[in-house]
Amino acid sequence: MSYLNQNHTPLFTALKEYHKRQVVPFDVPGHKHGKGLKEFTDYVGSTIMELDVNSMKCLDNICNPIGVIKEAEELAAYAYGADHGFFLVNGTTSGVQAMIMSACEPGDKIILPRNAHKSAIAGLILSGAIPIYIQPEVDDMLGIAMGVSLESVEKTIGRHPDAKCIFLINPTYYGATSNIKDIVKVAHRNAMAVLVDEAHGAHMGFHEEFPASGMELGADMSAVSLHKTGGSLTQSSLLLLREGIIDPFTVKKNLNLMQTTSGSYLLMASLDVARKQLATEGQPMLDRVLKLSRDARDRINKIDGLYAFGKELIGNPGVFNFDESKLGVHVRRLGLTGFEVYDLLRDEYDIQVELADYYNILAIISLGDTEEAINRLVEALADIASKHRRAGELRVINNILKNPDIIISPRDAYYSNKRVIKLEEAEGEISGESIMAYPPGIPVVSPGERITKDMIEHIKMLKEEETLVQGTEDPYVNYVRVLGLGNKR
């Protein structure tokens, strides 16, 4: 594949050629180049609507690409050092699910960290795989989960040598990475595939000062959110495969089970252009990201009561390397929760950060950021530290839940009969649904797990902080669904 020219954008070019021809549409979508949705078209612009088209010969088809989509996917695979690439228009969620379904059959064991995204839990339900959780390392001062250690992976493999694969996160939401290269070696020695959730690492293979990507480190598959840190449109992602353990036809078959047959050409074309940009301009653009993020850290760390953590964490448990584009700020010494600072930034300063937890906020610094934007963030944080701080620090609480007791598989729990009870009465029951704050979308409890007092208290804390809690039938999470009578021990 060395002949592939990363300056080419086969899909985007074909879409522009189609647009030039001013084809009269008698196919779907029904807005017919925007004419049938005038109010929306007038606001977003006619070109966008004219490019929102359906599959056709000249534009290929996402379900069985043989033309320009195939060429664009090959370019993406080559850029990331993979053998195969698959465009995703259902987000990285569909890629994570396809990875697990391609590596596991019903009843197979999969080793994964408990701080995996909810899409991994959905992958367990869809595949019927049995989770074997590894407890991620925890930074007690920051109150956040980091990566998994090589030692914990080796011990888990020793206890479960029949596991089919290992699922890793590269990087975590807050930027920590595990020693994936050595974990891959251990896994492959034990005939296990390595799957990598790279939702927040789309940029990492294009600059030597960032952690290495899953494909560079020998992983068998990775799901990459180009829309998060690579510049493409929201919901557009990429699934990468290294030939060997997992068959590419199996991957394609599983993707076609879940992904739409009407792939958005706006999303796919943005993937094509974002890949080109990273492959041809990634180094200077990511130089700028590093400069902005380092400058922000230096300035924030001069504000009394704030700590913007970074590469100094490398070497701590669960931090093999660190992605500096993740600007995590520890706010506990202000006497404020991360949730409160998150709300203040949005409501009083018109600044939207990625997420908050009890002690921290997280801002993502990426290709589109500017010095002006960084200045606004730093000045707003300084103003909050001056005007809103409370006397004393927040007390340290155990904010990270330990690995749960898995009573039945997520798939069996998902399909079991359930009843509804009050959240406060759920201790000891087996959960019939996932409950999580979103973002980050990491379940506090998943289907098939025993609900503990700590889980209930954690969920109540999230509600008190007015965090967006999802996954439950009851949108207010006053009630939860648990498995039928007789589950309580």
**Per-residue pLDDT averaged across 256-268, rounded?**
94
Kindly report, as residue ranges, where domains of CATH 3.90.1150.10 are found in the chain. Answer: 282-387
- The pLDDT assigned to 466 comes to 76
Per DSSP, the three-state class of 333 is helix
Closest CA to 281 of 1, 7, 75: 7
Give CA–CA dist 134/113, Å, rounded: 5
Kindly report, as residue ranges, where domains of CATH 3.90.100.10 are found in the chain. Answer: 410-483
Q: Has residue 179 got a pLDDT over 50? A: yes
Of 89-93, 169-173, 284-288, 482-486, the one with minimum mean pLDDT is 482-486
- The pLDDT assigned to 489 comes to 40
Of 112-116, 244-248, 398-402, 471-475, the one with minimum mean pLDDT is 398-402
CA dihedral angle for residue 301, residue 303, residue 304, residue 308, rounded to 10 degrees? -30
Higher pLDDT, 353 or 401: 353
404 cis-preceded (ω within 30 degrees of 0): no
Give CA–CA dist 299/216, Å, rounded: 33
Q: Thinking of the domain 410-483, which architecture would CATH place it in? A: Alpha-Beta Complex (3.90)
Give CA–CA dist 288/231, Å, rounded: 14
pLDDT in tens, 105-138: 999 999 999 888 889 999 999 999 999 999 899 8
Residue 406 per-residue DSSP state? B
- The pLDDT assigned to 343 comes to 96
* Confidence (pTM): 0.92
H-helix segments, 350-370 = none
- The pLDDT assigned to 233 comes to 98
**Per-residue pLDDT averaged across 25-51, rounded?**
96
- The pLDDT assigned to 216 comes to 97
The count of residues in the chain is: 489
pLDDT in tens, 54-107: 999 999 999 999 999 999 999 999 999 999 999 999 999 999 999 999 999 999
Q: Has residue 472 got a pLDDT over 90? A: no
Instruction: Give the mean pLDDT of the chain.
Output: 93
Give CA–CA dist 122/382, Å, rounded: 41
Q: Has residue 398 got a pLDDT over 70? A: no
CA dihedral angle for residue 103, residue 109, residue 113, residue 114, rounded to 10 degrees? 120
Which pLDDT band, with edges at 50, 70 and 90, does 151 fall under? very high
In the CATH scheme, what is the code of domain 67-256? 3.40.640.10
Residues above pLDDT 90, as percent of the chain: 84
End-to-end CA distance of the chain: 58
Longest dimension (CA), the chain: 68
Is 282-387 in CATH node 3.40.50.720?
A: no
Give CA–CA dist 325/307, Å, rounded: 16
Kindly report, as residue ranges, where domains of CATH 3.40.640.10 are found in the chain. Answer: 67-256
**Per-residue pLDDT averaged across 245-264, rounded?**
95
Q: Has residue 400 got a pLDDT over 70? A: no
- The pLDDT assigned to 405 comes to 87
pLDDT in tens, 303-323: 999 999 999 999 999 999 999
Residues above pLDDT 70, as percent of the chain: 97
Give CA–CA dist 317/136, Å, rounded: 9
- The pLDDT assigned to 487 comes to 43
